[in-house]
Structure 1
Amino acid sequence: MNVGSETAKMLVFFTPGGAEEFWLEVGEEATEDNIGVWWTEEQFEAVEETLERHHVRLLPGDEEAFKK
């Protein structure tokens, strides 16, 4: 989350490649309504199968690390 007042850019590498397909499948276009809004537990549960299919793992407590 960008906590500053300026536009932020982020560069992400996936090694080995393939995990980016998860974001292409479930990602949302950024809008004024959803910038800085955390996913709900229901949203995370809805993508469990997709996470597994793309070999992406979210570790317990990860969401707290990103809120700081």
Structure 2
Amino acid sequence: MADTPDDLQRKMAELEALRPSLGNAEEIADSLIAWITTPTWDESRAYLETHPALLDTQHDEVVDDLLSAG
């Protein structure tokens, strides 16, 4: 069964919604690496306090994709 024009428009809207996340993937990855490589727990906590967006659930899908790309 072929997709209807409405189905295709809905899929395009979903893909367009992902575009900002994909554009930020490198920035998110860099921030995660910087956080993970902090040498102490105190520095790790301080990094998260200054970068609260790392804990934003909007990034979960991007992080999952980055981790699965290995």
TM-score between the two structures when normalised by the length of structure 1: 0.25
**Which of the pair has the greater relative contact order for Cα pairs under 8 Å at 6+ separation?**
1
Q: TM-score, normalised by structure 2?
A: 0.24
- When Rg is computed on C-alpha atoms for both structures, the one with the higher figure is 2
Answer 1 or 2: which has greater helix percent: 2
